[in-house]
Structure 1
Amino acid sequence: MNPAPIILSGCAPVPIAHYLKALGVLRLVAEQADPAAAGCWQRDTFVLRSALDRNALIDFFLHRYEPTPIVAPWNGGSGFYNKDNTKAIQALEAGASSRLRHYRQTISAARRAVTEAKLTEKPPRELKESLLLACRNELPEPALPWLDTAFVLTAGGAEYPPLLGTGGNDGRLEFTNNFMQRIVDVMQPADGAPTPASATWLKQSLFGELVPICRNKAPIGQFFPGAAGGVNGTSGFDADSAVNPWDYVLMLEGALLFAAASVKRLEAGLAGVLACPFCVRQTGVGYASAAGADEQSARAEMWLPLWERAATLPELAAVLGEGRAQIGHRAARNGVDFTRAVVTLGVDRGLSAFQRFGFQVRNGLAYFATPLGRVAVRRNARADLLTEADDWMARLRDKASPTAKQPPASVSRALRQLEDRILDLCKQNDAARLQAVLIALGQAERAVARSLRWTRETAFLRPLQGLSTRWLAEADTGSREFRLAAALASLTGDFGAAGWLPLRCHLEPVAMTRRGQFAWADAPANDVQWSAAPLPDILNAIFARRLVRAEQAGIGDCPDTARRPAGIADIAAFIVGETDDALLANLLWGMILIDWSADVESPPAPQACAPPALYALLKLCFLPTRVNAD
């Protein structure tokens, strides 16, 4: 009979150090003690299922755990050069414990590589890649998972997955030397016995027990911002960085689960920042401190999976190895894409949520793995509609993001608002959120139309068009503004030789092509009547222009028809000022993006009421067909 599941209260999804620690526990137990071990997340706590009970788990780490040999002779401060802190690496080399035999072999092989390269200090950039290659060829097999996690050699040079900084280094903090120091903190290299404080540290790390002497004054870098110290880090003026040695050890051990996937993703030819599984480019939206500047300085985003059903190490390794996040037939490229993938089943089945982290500059020139929120894995059919504008949005982001070259400020603002609304929709599936996305798409279209020279000559953006009529059904909140906007946007008319003239041609400088598509007009036209005036004045100007066009075409009757006519009650409400005209105008800009040539079903009209008499009389003068006197 298997022991009861072990609740590891010290392992949580946030900070990233504690998430990686949970993976480290599962990996080490499965590889070195119980191959059938499995784990899952329940109520933000990691639960381990294994043949080991609580006491056996503690005994395993204190007396039998064999550290993965983690070294980085290509880094300054790694312990391999005269100016480095060499106390820990020398202690490991001098020890005789069988638990550290692989570490001693790896250090010896790394020293040979350094000697053969004739290096006495940190290698210059031009020699670094040759040392990386030598380490790949000469270090023993137990060190390979670490090498795969720290760097990948490609035809274009070395690439460094952001999880471990630049090859195990972040600013002035060198990860591997600190790992060796923490190993010496928890076990004695001479015989492998635990140090006097090791058991206390381990219980606090695994189970969150409140025990004395739970942390050392030691750096932890980007993985645990709350323990990094610095100004306002304590009741005084400044705090030292403090870390539980077992937290650091298990954290780096867990990071090695992202190893094979780093190779796979980079071999696919993606950018270096996308090397790590579930890793995409930073998007500066969707969290409280969001700013466009984050995209310019951040390394990347990582979306770490959470799962509620127990998974074994091979099962988890398969998920991380694939690192799948798809938008249709393409991989997610940024944070907004990944959010969409999570709610459109573009990720592996069996995952319950993703915790989002951004590797952002938050500590001088150093990075913090900043938690940016969580997205649950659940089907959101409304989010599927975004694929209809996917290519257009991708090009807009490419040309108007904070990393683009001098885009118009209005277009950048519109892009940011659009991405915020998309994230809102992905987190809450309802008509109001989709309607907000439709409005944001319309405002983005309006922004690019107002910066037409940039749009045509720099961004090469075409007018957004062709959204399906599903948007009408899925974004309808039942408001009269929505129904009126749909009626206006569906308005068109046959002006004889001049062709069909949709209402959209009066909002922005577009013209209909022979294929029935919208294109930017070659020359300025008097048809565009949209302005900053009140909406009734704008609509009057548009109507007057259409009458002029009808007269120029020699058409006696008003040719206007709507694919989705407005109801009398809604018209009456607009006339007497009972509508939100700002909302109506914003909805109109979104509605013009819909393909109105398709069949459109009108929703049930509200209870009819008598319109003002003047409207009823004037309406008779502007019907598309003559009134039969009989």
Structure 2
Amino acid sequence: MTTERRLSVLALPGLSPDSLGNYLASLGLLRVLSRKWPSTRIAWRDEVLQVVGGPSTLDELLDELVRIAGTQGDSDFNKREWTQYDKAWSNAQKKSTKAKSGAPLALWQAEAHETQLQFFAAHAVPHVRVSFNPLLGSGGNAGRRDFAAGWKQAVDVLAAAPKPKGRGKKISEAGAGGSEGPDERRSALQAFLLGRPITWLLEKLAAGSWFSEATKLYNSGQAPAREGQISPWAMVLACEGLALLAGGASRRLGARARAVGAFPFMTQPVAPEAAGEAGRILGEIWTPLWTRPMSLAETNTLFSRGRAELRGRSALTPAAFATAIRRRGVDAGVSEFRRFTLGRTTSANTFEPHLETCFSLDSGSDTRSAAGSRVLARMTSLIEQRGFPRDRKAGQRWRFVGLRGPIEAALLDVAANPDRSEGAIALLDAVATALDRIDRNRGFREGRVRWEPLPLDWLPSLFADEQPGVEARLALSLVSAFPAALPFAAFRFGVEWGRERNGKYEYDWTTKPTCFEHSKVAPARWVWGPGELARVIGAVLSRKLFEEARLDGTNTTRPQARAPFAARLADLNQWFAGDLDEALLARWLSRFALFDWSTIPQKVRAFMQGEVRPSRVDGELALLGLMQPLVDQRSLIVRSIPRKDVFAEETGARTTEAAHSLVTLIRSGNLDAATRLAGSRYAMAGARLASFDAAFGTHDPDRFVAALLFTISDRDRAVLFERWLRPRRRPPGGIIHA
């Protein structure tokens, strides 16, 4: 019979993972305890570090650490049990810096003792040059902060075994009959691990790059500034944890790829959003947390494999790292990542950690989360490609472009909070703004930026399970109705997607875009620009008719027109009355232009279907019912007309040329001529219109032309059109339309 084994569990709330220094101290504590208790494991539950399978009581843990601290005073270096941090590679590093080569440091690494390599690998990686871990500055110092010197000061103080001073000492001596008082090291360690107030703190331990409380505080106290203070235990344990951050040389595939130093869970800094932020962030570290207790061997394996890949390439940027963990997940039991940025302080040579956000990882694989991961991957591919404009450092100054920063910041927000609709909208707005700047800059267009349209499965994430507003509904009705071979994005952005031959792009009705490219020369169909929204949408309609006529000449079959998201008549009434936010409508049009509308999933259709309420029909709405069927190429089915489709192909009544003439007449304000043209076309189709002894007009022709692109349902089209049919009496009684 197998005997059940119970493992001891110690909760240490003082080592909160919200502090980078405390996280390093947690790793250091695991390394130290595993020497005496090899079965020691750690995990995080409810933001609290749990030590599992190690010392059975907190007293055992405290006694062991105090004992180890005392060994530092031994004259025999072999008996000192802290991992010695002496920067033995300093001279070789200086030679490498002077020679601008990694060879001297690599030679030192080949000859160094094994115990010296534990810390060295966490500081630098020699290759053609030398790559330094951003967390440790330039090989162990950040400006005047010498981490090894701070470590030595801390271990020397802990080895001295100080006693309480003043009244407390006298009381202990009197009560114990002259025996030694309590060790202050032990009480300070207990307070540090349990998160209690600490009275024994030291200054100038060079720990400000990991512990924010160790940095100099300004406007605090009588002096202009005072030195930060931390427990020496914090510095020593944090340095013990550095050994797990060993790096290595990494190389991307490619003839011109250079070797770089890769350190566990370290990435390049996030792109700046403003000119003043350029160069302020030195790097980022994504600290993994896990809820399943892991031993030192498992933790070593996790950190030795601590890299992320996206499409077979190492994730070197925050956007790529976030996308990788969302798209591919993790296979080492990690439940969460804490993202810390290493930002410069008042000195350009020092830095301080700042917790930016938490990335909780779930095992869900529903459609929306899968679509969200694809969105992140495509947006990351956009900003990671070679031709995408980026900020560059020229000499000592930065050339700030400002395209990547807003996109990357919004992308990280979406990755951290996938269910937050505001973040998803901000990401689309940032992308649309960047693409607009690329379109309007000749130098940016030289890069031929490419991007894939986004999956429609992600569309409901923009509304947080709420129904879209009137502006979003109108934008949906417009964008979704464009044919797959001629998407709205072709008019909203200056993009190409067809086959390129001899500098020209070839299109037909079978060419469906899988990837858009901002060509060196802006295409003529790109008509979107500043100005009144109604006039811009009208220009899109005119150009759309021209492009459709050109595609009709390619001897390929035009696909059937569609209206997957029909606008409500009440929405159109608001458009005609100007009773909506046109700036918001323009933003929704830009957002929806980024999606792939070639196929529309049924789940998305069902989500967008809302309650339809009756609406009044005025003159402009009735005119729309007459004109729109001649423009949008959709079937017009009226019960009183025997033919299944009023504009069946054999009638020849509806042509692109006639639609273009109709739009031109309306834009010029000649509604009477447009009505006569429409009547002649309906007569060709066998539908006779009623005669009206009245003049037709609209208060804003551009707004009416734009409304022709807002598709309505088949039922509403039929109801509006029937108002124009000539009535005739049926023999048994009643009225029918001829």
Q: 1:306 aligns with which of 285, 289, 292?
A: 289
1:30-77 C-alpha deviation (Å, 9 max, x unpaired)? 1x210000111223221212134211111111114698xxxxxxxxxx
Query: Residues 510 and 129 from structure 1, CA distance in 2 versus in 1: closer, same or farther, beyond 3 angstroms?
Result: closer
Q: What code does the residue aligned with 1:367 have?
A: F
Query: Residues 560 and 219 from structure 1, CA distance in 2 versus in 1: closer, same or farther, beyond 3 angstroms?
Result: same
CA distance in 1, matches of 2:540, 2:155: 76
1:516-560 C-alpha deviation (Å, 9 max, x unpaired)? 3455577667644433323223223433555677899999xx999
Question: Within the alignment, does 1:441 sit opposite 2:426 as a pair?
Answer: no
CA distance in 2, matches of 1:314, 1:37: 10
Please say if residues 63 and 194 of structure 1, whose CA atoms lie closer than 8 Å, have aligned partners that are also in contact.
no
1:260-313 C-alpha deviation (Å, 9 max, x unpaired)? xx126579999787521111111147xxxx756545243210000112222111
Please say if residues 492 and 502 of structure 1, whose CA atoms lie closer than 8 Å, have aligned partners that are also in contact.
yes
Q: What code does the residue aligned with 2:46 have?
A: R
Query: Residues 254 and 194 from structure 1, CA distance in 2 versus in 1: closer, same or farther, beyond 3 angstroms?
Result: farther
1:17-28 matches, within 5 Å, as 17-28=21-32
Q: 1:455 aligns with which of 419, 426, 444?
A: 444
Question: Within the alignment, does 1:613 sit opposite 2:619 as a pair?
Answer: yes
Please say if residues 288 and 336 of structure 2, whose CA atoms lie closer than 8 Å, have aligned partners that are also in contact.
yes
Q: Which runs of 5+ in 1 are unaligned?
A: 68-90, 495-499
1:556-607 C-alpha deviation (Å, 9 max, x unpaired)? xx99945535234333343333443222211212222333333565443641
Q: 1:486 aligns with which of 465, 468, 476?
A: 476
CA distance in 2, matches of 1:553, 1:384: 35
Please say if residues 318 and 412 of structure 2, whose CA atoms lie closer than 8 Å, have aligned partners that are also in contact.
no
State the partner residue of 1:151. Answer: 124
CA distance in 2, matches of 1:399, 1:407: 14
Query: Residues 404 and 138 from structure 1, CA distance in 2 versus in 1: closer, same or farther, beyond 3 angstroms?
Result: closer
Q: Report the 3-state secondary structure (helix = DSSP H, G, I; strand = E; otherwise coil) of the residue aligned with 2:345.
A: strand
Higher relative contact order, structure no. (Cα contacts within 8 Å, ≥ 6 residues apart): 1
Q: CA deviation at 1:15?
A: 2.3
State the partner residue of 1:87. Answer: none
Query: Residues 294 and 42 from structure 1, CA distance in 2 versus in 1: closer, same or farther, beyond 3 angstroms?
Result: farther
1:414-429 matches, within 5 Å, as 415-429=404-418
Q: What code does the residue aligned with 1:152 have?
A: V
Q: 1:384 aligns with which of 363, 373, 377?
A: 373
Please say if residues 449 and 455 of structure 1, whose CA atoms lie closer than 8 Å, have aligned partners that are also in contact.
yes
Q: Report the 3-state secondary structure (helix = DSSP H, G, I; strand = E; otherwise coil) of the residue aligned with 1:159.
A: strand
State the partner residue of 1:339. Answer: 322
Of all paired residues, the percent bearing the same amino acid is 22
Please say if residues 245 and 264 of structure 2, whose CA atoms lie closer than 8 Å, have aligned partners that are also in contact.
yes
Query: Residues 10 and 520 from structure 1, CA distance in 2 versus in 1: closer, same or farther, beyond 3 angstroms?
Result: closer
CA distance in 1, matches of 2:353, 2:181: 31
Query: Aligned-pair RMSD on alpha carbons?
Result: 4.2
Please say if residues 469 and 600 of structure 1, whose CA atoms lie closer than 8 Å, have aligned partners that are also in contact.
yes
Query: Residues 277 and 397 from structure 1, CA distance in 2 versus in 1: closer, same or farther, beyond 3 angstroms?
Result: farther
Q: CA deviation at 1:426?
A: 2.1
CA distance in 2, matches of 1:333, 1:103: 30
State the partner residue of 1:51. Answer: 55
TM-score, normalised on structure 2? 0.68
Q: What code does the residue aligned with 2:492 have?
A: L
Q: How many residue pairs were aligned?
A: 576
Q: Report the 3-state secondary structure (helix = DSSP H, G, I; strand = E; otherwise coil) of the residue aligned with 2:287.
A: strand
Query: Residues 488 and 174 from structure 1, CA distance in 2 versus in 1: closer, same or farther, beyond 3 angstroms?
Result: same
State the partner residue of 1:183. Answer: 155
Q: CA deviation at 1:377?
A: 1.5
Q: What code does the residue aligned with 2:21 have?
A: A
State the partner residue of 2:597. Answer: 596
Q: CA deviation at 1:239?
A: 0.6
Q: What code does the residue aligned with 1:18 have?
A: N
Question: Within the alignment, does 1:35 sit opposite 2:20 as a pair?
Answer: no
CA distance in 2, matches of 1:553, 1:275: 51
CA distance in 2, matches of 1:5, 1:208: 17
Please say if residues 280 and 302 of structure 1, whose CA atoms lie closer than 8 Å, have aligned partners that are also in contact.
yes
Indicate the larger mover: 200-209 or 52-61: 200-209
Please say if residues 436 and 493 of structure 2, whose CA atoms lie closer than 8 Å, have aligned partners that are also in contact.
yes
Please say if residues 326 and 347 of structure 1, whose CA atoms lie closer than 8 Å, have aligned partners that are also in contact.
no
Q: Report the 3-state secondary structure (helix = DSSP H, G, I; strand = E; otherwise coil) of the residue aligned with 2:245.
A: helix
Q: What code does the residue aligned with 1:301 have?
A: E
Query: Residues 389 and 304 from structure 1, CA distance in 2 versus in 1: closer, same or farther, beyond 3 angstroms?
Result: closer
Question: Within the alignment, does 1:15 sit opposite 2:19 as a pair?
Answer: yes
Q: CA deviation at 1:427?
A: 2.8
Q: CA deviation at 1:360?
A: 1.7
Q: What code does the residue aligned with 1:372 have?
A: E
1:378-437 C-alpha deviation (Å, 9 max, x unpaired)? 35334213124442232289523465999997xx55543333332332233337343443
Please say if residues 83 and 240 of structure 2, whose CA atoms lie closer than 8 Å, have aligned partners that are also in contact.
no
Query: Residues 523 and 201 from structure 1, CA distance in 2 versus in 1: closer, same or farther, beyond 3 angstroms?
Result: closer
Q: Report the 3-state secondary structure (helix = DSSP H, G, I; strand = E; otherwise coil) of the residue aligned with 1:399.
A: coil
Q: 2:113 aligns with which of 123, 137, 140?
A: 140
1:493-517 C-alpha deviation (Å, 9 max, x unpaired)? 79xxxxx755444434445633534
Please say if residues 490 and 592 of structure 1, whose CA atoms lie closer than 8 Å, have aligned partners that are also in contact.
no
Q: Which runs of 5+ in 2 are unaligned?
A: 162-179, 499-505, 634-646, 648-652, 654-681, 688-737
State the partner residue of 1:164. Answer: 136
Q: What code does the residue aligned with 1:16 have?
A: L
1:83-122 matches, within 5 Å, as 95-96=75-76, 99-100=79-80
CA distance in 2, matches of 1:241, 1:362: 14
Q: What code does the residue aligned with 1:443 have?
A: T
Q: What code does the residue aligned with 1:468 have?
A: P
Q: 1:251 aligns with which of 238, 241, 244?
A: 238
Q: Report the 3-state secondary structure (helix = DSSP H, G, I; strand = E; otherwise coil) of the residue aligned with 1:478.
A: coil
Q: What code does the residue aligned with 1:590 have?
A: R
Q: CA deviation at 1:25?
A: 0.6
1:571-586 matches, within 5 Å, as 571-586=572-587
Please say if residues 143 and 350 of structure 2, whose CA atoms lie closer than 8 Å, have aligned partners that are also in contact.
yes
CA distance in 2, matches of 1:559, 1:211: 75
CA distance in 1, matches of 2:244, 2:226: 32
Please say if residues 64 and 99 of structure 1, whose CA atoms lie closer than 8 Å, have aligned partners that are also in contact.
no
Please say if residues 201 and 215 of structure 1, whose CA atoms lie closer than 8 Å, have aligned partners that are also in contact.
no
Q: 1:469 aligns with which of 456, 460, 465?
A: 456
Please say if residues 440 and 590 of structure 1, whose CA atoms lie closer than 8 Å, have aligned partners that are also in contact.
no
Q: Report the 3-state secondary structure (helix = DSSP H, G, I; strand = E; otherwise coil) of the residue aligned with 1:300.
A: strand
State the partner residue of 1:373. Answer: 357
Please say if residues 296 and 402 of structure 1, whose CA atoms lie closer than 8 Å, have aligned partners that are also in contact.
no
Query: Residues 589 and 97 from structure 1, CA distance in 2 versus in 1: closer, same or farther, beyond 3 angstroms?
Result: closer
Query: Residues 194 and 4 from structure 1, CA distance in 2 versus in 1: closer, same or farther, beyond 3 angstroms?
Result: farther
CA distance in 2, matches of 1:55, 1:522: 71
Q: Report the 3-state secondary structure (helix = DSSP H, G, I; strand = E; otherwise coil) of the residue aligned with 2:263.
A: coil
Q: What code does the residue aligned with 1:8 have?
A: L
State the partner residue of 1:126. Answer: 99
State the partner residue of 2:193. Answer: 206
